[in-house]
Chain A
């Protein structure tokens, strides 16, 4: 694809900048973020290239790819950027864009894990690792994943077979509901 002013999409850049609170346009491609990124070898586009693609309006390639879901949020990029681009926040913003648009990305396992994690908070108030892992395996069709770890963890008392729900669950549900309300009214991103 030939890059030109027509292929840029400043609207999307502005959206990412508003969501992340970080400039996308300040990046001058020094590559320090990718040099320190522990996940670069798992990504099709390393962090500095993600920013470059955004600057050039190629955001659909970013959202459709798996790189943004392979970011570990370790914050090394944001720590080392010499021009104060908060790349970790930009990654969060991109994941939100991809998440809201449903079905954009190729990386379904990470998204499934995120979804189950958030559902657990809404249903129980806290994470119960046993349930999280069991439901993840079931829904991702990997029934035997970590099969050998289960007994080791259970005999060491590290997985709770039974658990209680928080007493303040109605308050927690209210938080989720009110955030949904805000979004319906267009008053929150």
Chain B
């Protein structure tokens, strides 16, 4: 008999999770299923506009987000968002539309409908730490990640600007450390948790990414990290996909696996490794996971 879900959410994966970050999507679904949390994908969701839209056309950015929030009403439960950038855009839109009646009118005109944008938007981290709860998360662990030294990397948009994401403190957050700590891993203290990885310059100016992401990898290595843990597909792309290039540019060897937080948590919760997309990662985590007896 199927177990009833304890919580249910509508789900906005975002463009990357259907392509370059497919292991984030797979591991999110795997983890949530193991924890008996329901996820229903928003039908026909569209791109949130990400950085390019708000960079040059705020009204378009807000309208795309408002449309997605409207579409999310077709699925049950608060809106669960995996990508830090989509999460940030949707939250910013809610704040702006609540605070600026003139802008709200313009977006209403663009959508040709009264706005329905009040559904709570939650990042997966928030769902795991607050709604589901760390105690239940710890109780769900089948394979503790003990001996795994994890450098939790927040990047920019999970916590900044203050008062918008409402996830944790903007300058000294602990939510990632708390979540992975519940799975038994050792979360390290290190210097570059909140520095920018170079984000979408990966397409236009990859040199920027080589410098900024290189600094992040070097910092994690100095702190003695076995691996990085991220919650954003852009950060992942820069730190994992471009890692070999970074090594060539900086002359420093990292060989540092970069996990999505859901991959590590799902592994701890007993989801079979072959369902977690480890073979999709450019820097293979398999030697590390074997060494730590986690496979």
Contacts and interface: CB of A to CB of B under 8 A. Distances in A.
Please classify the interface of chain B as helix (H, G, I), strand (E, B), loop, or mixed, using the class held by over half of its residues: helix
Contact of B160 (A76, A112, A179): A76
Contact of B156 (A75, A128, A152, A157): A75
B198 interface: yes
B128 interface: no
Interface residues on B, range: 35 or more
B282 A152 contact: yes
A132 B19 CA distance: 12
B19 A175 contact: no
Nearest to A179: B110
Per DSSP, chain A at the interface is: helix
Nearest to B207: A42
Interface stretch (A7-15, A48-56, A117-125): A117-125
Interface string B138-159: 0000000000000000001100
B112 A95 contact: no
B52 A117 contact: yes
Contacts of B282: 152, 156
A129 B204 contact: no
Interface in B236-255: 241
Contacts of B57: 96, 99, 118, 179
B58 A175 contact: no
Contacts of B53: 117-118, 121
Interface stretch (B27-35, B41-49, B218-226): B41-49
B19 A79 contact: no
B47 A38 contact: no
Given A156-B282, A176-B60, A133 B203 contact: yes
A159 B20 contact: yes
Contacts of B137: none
A136 interface: yes
Contacts of A72: 156, 196, 198-199, 201, 208
21 contacts: A72-B208, A73-B51, A75-B161, A76-B194, A92-B54, A118-B49, A118-B52, A118-B53, A132-B203, A136-B203, A145-B206, A152-B241, A153-B20, A157-B280, A158-B241, A159-B19, A166-B44, A168-B46, A179-B57, A179-B60, A182-B110
Interface of B: 15-16, 18-22, 44, 46-47, 49-60, 63-64, 67, 100, 106, 109-112, 156-157, 160-162, 170-171, 194-196, 198-201, 203-206, 208, 211-212, 241, 279-282
The 10 lowest CB-CB distance pairs between A and B, nearest first, are A75-B160, A127-B15, A117-B52, A74-B196, A113-B204, A74-B156, A114-B52, A38-B196, A99-B56, A109-B204
